[in-house]
């Protein structure tokens, strides 16, 4: 069974010391450069991008404006 990138990160990568994680990140990025990996640098926002932004915005707003009755006055 193939593991997802998130499962690999949780089970293996997150347990590595920071220096080893940086080395791994460098290896991955250099590999992408050598393969001429296609990066979408368009300015178009997909629906998923917009949903991610909205979710982050709501989460951020909730931390800045906690549910406090004093603010409602």
For 57-73, write each residue's pLDDT tens digit: 999 988 888 776 555 55
Residue 71 · residue 65 · CB < 8 Å: yes
> Has residue 11 got a pLDDT over 90?
yes
Mean pLDDT of 13-24: 94
Residue 12 · residue 21 · CB < 8 Å: no
Note the pTM of the prediction, 2 decimals.
0.47
The distance in angstroms from the start CA to the end CA of the chain is 55
Model confidence pLDDT, tens digit, residues 32-47: 888 876 767 778 888 9
pLDDT at site 8: 92
> Which pair of tokens denotes residue 49?
């991008």
């Amino acid at each position: 069974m193939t593991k997802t990138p998130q499962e690999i990160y949780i089970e293996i990568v997150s347990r590595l010391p920071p220096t080893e994680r940086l080395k791994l990140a460098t290896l991955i990025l250099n590999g992408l450069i050598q393969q001429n990996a296609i990066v979408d640098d368009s300015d178009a926002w997909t629906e998923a991008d917009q949903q991610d932004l909205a979710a982050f915005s709501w989460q951020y707003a909730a931390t800045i404006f906690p549910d406090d009755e004093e603010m409602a006055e």
